[in-house]
Amino acid sequence: MTPSPPTPLPPFANPTSPIDDTDRATYQWQLWTPGFDEVSQARLKSATVLISRVGGLGSPVAYELAAAGVGHLILCHAGNLKHSDLNRQLLMTHDWIGRPRIESAARRLRDLNPRLEITAIPDNMSDANAERLITQADLVVDAAPLFEERLAMNDASVRLGKPVVECAMYEMQATLTTVIPGITPCLRCLVPEPPKPWKREFPVFGAVAGTVGCMGAMEAIKLLTGLGTPLAGRMLSMDLRTMQFRITDLGAPPSCPVCIAAHRTR
Amino acid sequence: MRVSVEYMSLIRDASGVDAEDLISQTDSLTLADMLEHLAENHAEPFRAAVLDNSGTMHPWLMVTVNDVLVRSPEAILRDGDRVTIAVPISGG
Ligand SMILES: [Zn+2]
């Protein structure tokens, strides 16, 4: 049982919108990164990323993608803001208590990047809307609290062949992996049904959400542009209590009924 | 044989410890054997966290051996193996 080597992947976004001088000035510091050039920036500008929930995990994902110049974000998040959201949902502010969270998120993202196109969906992801929304995206980031939502989004993403960055957290621990349909195990391969012990509310710090959310955003940037080595088929587990980080090889090829059915129709 | 076992997420909560060593008089153990030994060593809720009522590993349990995910309860463990056990976590 030795870990297999990481799989090289092509960029998941096409550079259809060329960058302009404002982009060159805004993204100057990241354009100095080896392996990331103006075509890479154009890929981000042309990209659509769907983020399922913009709470503790999804807020930093959305903020970092907006900052990096991703052109279009589709954000899904139902419900109104509560005090207990504010330790970690960094796109929310105290003055927005009792008002829709999705509006707060969109407002904060537009302050950061007025060129960003935002499609704000005031619903959570489910079997009813997943395919319709995911078909519009180049890539999906899973930052939802319930495994039912995660599995609905997973199944639709696998059917549509869209990569998914899976961010998760609990207490002072977090995990991150990337699903590439047809190549890596999907979430349902790993978690065939919602784990019964998982509860909607759990202990966590905003800094844990921020850590894995920022890493998830970096993973998305890498996938969209072909930069670096993503966590495809590998899971990063972090324990911020001890600062122990570990990468697990997710082993077997895609094997769940959703992966097998998608492979058959492709 | 000695296997080092590390607990993560809700399994750590159920075990009450971060990590421990499992010592067996045999040369090898299946993953199912290991979970049964650990369940015998711990009070509830640990057993219910890793095994169902029939003593079968929960389908969602994430077990790694030497940093590779292992899904089969029949997988063989040997002296010196490093195991982690977790319930998958979510968010959001
Ligand atoms: Zn699958």
Chain B environment of A175 (Cβ under 8 Å): 88-89
pLDDT score for A5: 57
| pLDDT recorded at residue A3 | 52
pLDDT, position A7: 63
Cβ <8 Å between A250 and B84: no
> pLDDT tens digit string along A47-59?
999 999 999 999 9
Contact assignment for B89 to A250 by CB distance below 8 Å: no
Using the mean position of ligand 1's atoms as its centre, give its distance from the Cα of residue B49 in Å. 24
Q: How many Å lie between the centroid of ligand 1 and the Cα of residue A155?
A: 8
pLDDT tens string A186-231: 999 999 999 999 999 999 999 999 999 999 999 999 999 999 999 9
| Arithmetic mean of pLDDT, A74-95 | 98
User: pLDDT of A156-189, one tens digit each?
Assistant: 999 999 999 999 999 999 999 999 999 999 999 9
The vertex-A61 CA angle with A211 and A32, nearest 5°, equals: 85
Q: Where are the beta strands (DSSP E) in B1-92?
A: 2-7, 19-23, 28-30, 62-65, 68-70, 76-78, 82-86
Tokens of A34: 């080896």
Find where tokens 């002072």 sit.
A172
* Strand ranges in chain A using DSSP code E only, listed in sequence order: 48-52, 72-76, 117-121, 139-142, 164-170, 173-179, 234-239, 244-249
Name chain A contacts of B65, Cβ cutoff 8 Å.
Answer: 1
List of domains in chain B: 2-86 (3.10.20.30)
Tell me chain B's radius of gyration from C-alpha atoms: 12
Section B70-91 average pLDDT: 97
State the complex-level ipTM. Answer: 0.96
Q: Which residues of B touch A198 (CB under 8 A)?
A: 10, 87-90
> Between A and B, how many residue pairs show a Cβ–Cβ distance under 8 A?
101
A6 falls in which pLDDT band (50, 70, 90)? Answer: low
User: B78 touching A, CB under 8 A?
Assistant: no
Percent of chain A with pLDDT over 70: 97
pTM of the prediction?
A: 0.97
CA distance B25 to chain A (A): 23
DSSP 8-state secondary structure symbol assigned to residue B80: T
> Which comes out higher in pLDDT, residue B57 or A263?
B57
CB A52 within 8 A of CB A164: no
Task: Compute the distance between CA of residue A220 and CA of residue A73 in angstroms, rounded to an integer.
Answer: 12
Q: How confident is the model at residue A254 (pLDDT cuts 50, 70, 90)?
A: confident
Look at residue A266 and tell me whether its pLDDT is greater than 80.
no
